[in-house]
Chain A
């Protein structure tokens, strides 16, 4: 009994010791910001963002002491590794201090001495991001595809759920998921390989289609919903990749052919547009304008490939679309003449309020992710001007962006972390058309993420609620032998 009492006392003492924070007696104040990963210094975050856990770089430290405070509210953590903030307390702190700056004080213990670092702030915006972000998680690959999956990650927590993984679908590649303005009640998901097909989800019904016809190049690739949910603009591509011998850029991806089409989901028909579907031009990345009356897309004159692929300069063009008559306008307008700037414009994404079009600008081609010089640009529709979104860009590739439902935020992929693994960054659009400093999608343990993550996160799309399509539904449709076929309408 005596032994039991002693052991209990010891256990209590140990637990009390481990729960308590060490007293921080700062011997010296360092006049520089802490080198934290991810870099959250001076960022603006939405009020519903999950905790900005971070790790301190550059120092071999014994312990980290972090105080996050605003007004009378304070969160205090000590750890010998990355700081992991309590989710409930975090959300409470942010909710109490919207449109306010939160101060973060970091002290670091090195050789039994505590050193204070310059405090930094981040700003809490009152706007909320959508419920989640849906992305494709993939091991960077060229010819052989490994672990690919579509995942949904909640914005306000670290919860990541797998929608479908390639090992459940005969190692098929999957991609090209799209929602109607973040609403997953209208969504599509394309699966490649032997069990290929495109799953269309429309409220309560889900069907799988073969979208290639005798008259089209391939299955639908990059797709975008019309605001009414009935029409989908899609590209059809014959994509190839070529490796490079130099060290600056690993490879180039280009299309031998690329066309766009508008698909009427109600009638399962591809609407005719012979003036667009020509052999003279590549057309790619079609999207509908906010009001659904225009289709924006990248366009470039055909050239001899692969020899001249570095001469491919895409312009941003538009064409009218009438949803009543189901007709695509005859006149193609050049919105951004990138070629005149000796650049190439690709991946247009209009904001849902019709104010901006965000797109990628690079030296040539239209596959932005493999171009280190690819940057995000903005086209201000009202002012008819375009400019580089400097604050969002880095020396590495920026690509595949999408808007939040309220148009205040956008997400994009960037390789600024290590030049290979694409990661997701968020930034807020300012009223003057600039944006705030981007921040990485927060991770539960940033150190593990930084050191051990061997996946890229691409094709991010905001999603306003949990995906209504579950794994077994996808599984059942993918393995069913029945496939519906889209029809190609001729004029």
Chain B
């Protein structure tokens, strides 16, 4: 294979992968970075060194912390991909002198299969690293060419990559087959012995099913579901050089190569998780208070999901537009505002962010803590620690704040944050000098009450009793009334709006009031001038009896939300 061809095969896909992450799939980089914490401490290192594959986990987490910057994350992913492909090329080249002629693109396949798993939310970077290191050791083995080298290399690879040792051992066997070496039997015996040792060790350590000994598995309390992708990547990595042993010449090589490249790229693209990617892009913006970036999101491209809608609604509330624009996108129920949390590490982060921005510090603290506990493999989250540290500071838990901050001091990118918190945490004046924190304290709960998720309106009202200037909470309260079609409660809660909008009524509230007027028996009630335009609009809506026309014209109105269910029922009854 000519050098430039190798360069093309390794570099172009890596560049494509860089572009893929940089401009499209960076939400998953944020996802990966969010659910880990890399500590520069001896204990953190020693905790990883003792178990097989731990060093790859360590290295993976070390690199993942750089995903905080999307371009760095994209570069790391691209380099790993390119390096892996190059190592497959090196190995194949040393195994088979004739590999060259026609199927150059096949060396892409192992890393493509690996990245087809890496784009899922179950993967850690340590999986890709384990694959790369296993192949690198196989290359090293071919260079050493000593039949006793495996006495050292096999345990070393096992310690470094855990189950990557299977890939390594299989590649060694392939090399021996390719080279027709006579010491194959010794290697086979040794490999069999090690497989036995590994399995026994695994049993001894823990149950294979419930432990993260298997590198790169976010076992997520149910790892079996996700094994196939990993095994597939491992098998493909071994099968590719093996196949190249037997295939030397093919017809239509350019077409076949092009198909291989297209299939590889297509496979990775197919395996991506668009919803997760989008959710975590929105979450990234929310964490960094980039509300406008959230609202710039194309409504057509916004995937309708409780968490995406809840983050969009949060952005609307933070920019004081919730009651004017929330129904621009169909809202299914109150979960679009306050989603239910599940026993996972995804929902608490979103809910925690909402509570944080509502200045409901105690609940935010709770949800970030839930998330920190729910992360697979008992990993912790630096992002959660950041929020937990802020919340404990605002809750005046000084000792706990210091403890959390000291943990973050051992990180690379959150150290400055931790230092600033340690500087201000025991000084109320310093906290109050911080605009965000002082606002949160002013907007927070002044009354100690029990929080029942089933009664969010009550909870918001209790918050507003102590902090009536919390406009985010006011918007959430009225928005909940609107979504639940509880217009009586809306009428009662209108009082909370007065301090903010004495002369105008938000659009959807005005529409709701029009419905109240329309549905009230006494239509002679005094109608403020500002509602008159809405009434005209509403009368047109009410007179319209074609569902499709109503949908087209009024789908972004509160009338549609309020009546659509009944309307749909009527239509379906007619049909």
Binding site for B on A (CB under 8 A): 139-147, 165, 167-171, 242-252, 306, 417-421, 448, 450-452, 454, 475
B537-563: CB near A (< 8 Å → 1, else 0) gives: 000000000000000000000000000
Q: Which residue of B lies closest to A421 (CB)?
A: B403
Say yes or no for B459: interface residue by CB 8 A criterion.
yes
Residue among A140, A142, A247, A450 with most chain B CB within 10 A: A247
Give B211-258 interface residues, CB cut-off 8 Å to A. 211, 221
Give B409-467 interface residues, CB cut-off 8 Å to A. 410, 445, 447-452, 459, 462-463
B397 x A420 contact (CB < 8 A): yes
Q: Which residue of A lies closest to B47 (CB)?
A: A452
Residue among B369, B394, B452 with most chain A CB within 10 A: B369
Q: How far is the CA of A475 from the CA of B206 in the complex (A)?
A: 10
Say yes or no for B503: interface residue by CB 8 A criterion.
no
Q: How far is the CA of A243 from the CA of B355 in the complex (A)?
A: 13
State the Cβ distance, B443 to closest chain A Cβ, in Å: 13
| Given known A-B contacts A142-B366, A167-B378, A247 and B403 have beta carbons under 8 A apart | no
Contact of A140 among B341, B348, B369, B402 (CB under 8 A): B369
Contact of B396 among A147, A171, A247, A252 (CB under 8 A): A247
Q: Which residue of B lies closest to A170 (CB)?
A: B210
Q: How far is the CA of A418 from the CA of B397 in the complex (A)?
A: 8
A145 x B373 contact (CB < 8 A): yes
State the Cβ distance, A252 to closest chain B Cβ, in Å: 7
Q: Which residue of B lies closest to A445 (CB)?
A: B43
Contact of B407 among A245, A419, A451 (CB under 8 A): A451
Q: Which residue of A lies closest to B373 (CB)?
A: A146
Q: Among the listed stretches B89-97, B269-277, B356-364, which one makes contact with chain A, having 4 or more residues with CB under 8 Å of it?
A: B356-364
Cβ–Cβ < 8 Å partners of B206 in chain A: 165, 167-168
Cβ–Cβ < 8 Å partners of B448 in chain A: 244-249
State the Cβ distance, B517 to closest chain A Cβ, in Å: 36
B374 x A144 contact (CB < 8 A): yes
Cβ–Cβ < 8 Å partners of A139 in chain B: 372-373, 378
Q: How far is the CA of A247 from the CA of B401 in the complex (A)?
A: 13
- Interface pairs A-B: 9 shortest CB-CB: A246-B448, A146-B373, A247-B395, A418-B399, A245-B445, A144-B374, A144-B373, A243-B451, A147-B378
Cβ–Cβ < 8 Å partners of A306 in chain B: 450
A245 x B447 contact (CB < 8 A): yes
A250 x B403 contact (CB < 8 A): no
Cβ–Cβ < 8 Å partners of B42 in chain A: 448
Residue among A245, A248, A417 with most chain B CB within 10 A: A245
A246 x B362 contact (CB < 8 A): yes
B386-407: CB near A (< 8 Å → 1, else 0) gives: 0000000011110110110011
Cβ–Cβ < 8 Å partners of B372 in chain A: 139, 146
B452 x A242 contact (CB < 8 A): yes
Cβ–Cβ < 8 Å partners of B366 in chain A: 142, 243, 250-251
| Given known A-B contacts A244-B449, A448-B43, A168 and B207 have beta carbons under 8 A apart | yes
Number of chain B residues close to chain A: CB under 8 A: 48
Q: How far is the CA of A246 from the CA of B362 in the complex (A)?
A: 7
20 examples of A-B residue contacts, CB within 8 angstroms: A139-B373, A142-B366, A143-B341, A168-B207, A170-B210, A171-B221, A242-B450, A243-B363, A243-B451, A245-B462, A246-B362, A247-B362, A247-B394, A247-B395, A247-B445, A418-B397, A418-B402, A448-B42, A452-B43, A454-B407
A418 x B445 contact (CB < 8 A): no
Cβ–Cβ < 8 Å partners of A448 in chain B: 41-43
State the Cβ distance, B83 to closest chain A Cβ, in Å: 33
Q: How far is the CA of A245 from the CA of B394 in the complex (A)?
A: 13
A452 x B370 contact (CB < 8 A): no
Residue among B341, B378, B380, B406 with most chain A CB within 10 A: B378
Cβ–Cβ < 8 Å partners of A141 in chain B: 369-370, 373
B370 x A142 contact (CB < 8 A): yes
| Given known A-B contacts A167-B210, A242-B452, A247-B362, A417 and B445 have beta carbons under 8 A apart | no
Binding site for A on B (CB under 8 A): 39, 41-43, 206-207, 210-211, 221, 341, 343, 348, 360-363, 365-366, 369-375, 378, 380, 394-397, 399-400, 402-403, 406-407, 410, 445, 447-452, 459, 462-463
| Given known A-B contacts A245-B360, A246-B445, A143 and B370 have beta carbons under 8 A apart | yes
A252 x B450 contact (CB < 8 A): yes
State the Cβ distance, B425 to closest chain A Cβ, in Å: 12
A171 x B373 contact (CB < 8 A): no
Contact of A144 among B370, B402, B462 (CB under 8 A): B370
| Given known A-B contacts A142-B370, A168-B207, A244 and B407 have beta carbons under 8 A apart | no
Q: How far is the CA of A420 from the CA of B398 in the complex (A)?
A: 11
A451 x B451 contact (CB < 8 A): no
State the Cβ distance, B479 to closest chain A Cβ, in Å: 20
Q: How far is the CA of A306 from the CA of B450 in the complex (A)?
A: 9
Q: How far is the CA of A271 from the CA of B225 in the complex (A)?
A: 46
B407 x A250 contact (CB < 8 A): no
Q: How far is the CA of A192 from the CA of B546 in the complex (A)?
A: 57
Q: How far is the CA of A244 from the CA of B459 in the complex (A)?
A: 10
A143 x B378 contact (CB < 8 A): no
List 7 extra interface pairs beyond A245-B448, A247-B445, CB under 8 A. A144-B371, A167-B211, A167-B378, A243-B363, A247-B362, A451-B407, A475-B207
| Given known A-B contacts A146-B378, A419-B400, A245 and B210 have beta carbons under 8 A apart | no
A452 x B447 contact (CB < 8 A): no
B365 x A245 contact (CB < 8 A): no
Q: How far is the CA of A417 from the CA of B397 in the complex (A)?
A: 11
State the Cβ distance, A406 to closest chain B Cβ, in Å: 34
State the Cβ distance, A128 to closest chain B Cβ, in Å: 31
Cβ–Cβ < 8 Å partners of A146 in chain B: 372-375, 378
Q: How far is the CA of A419 from the CA of B341 in the complex (A)?
A: 26
Q: How far is the CA of A252 from the CA of B448 in the complex (A)?
A: 12
Q: How far is the CA of A160 from the CA of B206 in the complex (A)?
A: 18
| Given known A-B contacts A142-B366, A167-B206, A168-B207, A246 and B447 have beta carbons under 8 A apart | yes
B400 x A250 contact (CB < 8 A): no
B362 x A245 contact (CB < 8 A): yes
B210 x A142 contact (CB < 8 A): no
Q: How far is the CA of A247 from the CA of B391 in the complex (A)?
A: 10
Cβ–Cβ < 8 Å partners of A140 in chain B: 369
Q: Which residue of A lies closest to B344 (CB)?
A: A144
Cβ–Cβ < 8 Å partners of A450 in chain B: 403
Contact of B343 among A143, A170, A418 (CB under 8 A): A143
Q: How far is the CA of A106 from the CA of B206 in the complex (A)?
A: 45
Cβ–Cβ < 8 Å partners of B365 in chain A: 250
Q: How far is the CA of A143 from the CA of B348 in the complex (A)?
A: 11
Q: How far is the CA of A242 from the CA of B448 in the complex (A)?
A: 12
State the Cβ distance, B192 to closest chain A Cβ, in Å: 26
| Given known A-B contacts A418-B399, A418-B400, A454 and B362 have beta carbons under 8 A apart | no
Q: How far is the CA of A170 from the CA of B449 in the complex (A)?
A: 35
State the Cβ distance, A471 to closest chain B Cβ, in Å: 9
Q: How far is the CA of A189 from the CA of B410 in the complex (A)?
A: 37
Q: How far is the CA of A134 from the CA of B361 in the complex (A)?
A: 35
Residue among B221, B402, B448 with most chain A CB within 10 A: B448
B41 x A419 contact (CB < 8 A): no
Q: How far is the CA of A490 from the CA of B181 in the complex (A)?
A: 78
| Given known A-B contacts A167-B378, A246-B449, A248-B448, A452 and B407 have beta carbons under 8 A apart | yes
Q: How far is the CA of A108 from the CA of B402 in the complex (A)?
A: 24
Cβ–Cβ < 8 Å partners of A451 in chain B: 403, 406-407, 410
Q: Which residue of A lies closest to B211 (CB)?
A: A167
Q: How far is the CA of A248 from the CA of B445 in the complex (A)?
A: 11
Cβ–Cβ < 8 Å partners of A147 in chain B: 378
B406 x A243 contact (CB < 8 A): no
Cβ–Cβ < 8 Å partners of A421 in chain B: 403
State the Cβ distance, B341 to closest chain A Cβ, in Å: 8
State the Cβ distance, B209 to closest chain A Cβ, in Å: 9
Cβ–Cβ < 8 Å partners of B41 in chain A: 448, 452
Contact of B362 among A167, A250, A418 (CB under 8 A): A250
Q: How far is the CA of A420 from the CA of B391 in the complex (A)?
A: 13
Residue among A169, A242, A246, A454 with most chain B CB within 10 A: A246
Q: How far is the CA of A250 from the CA of B365 in the complex (A)?
A: 9
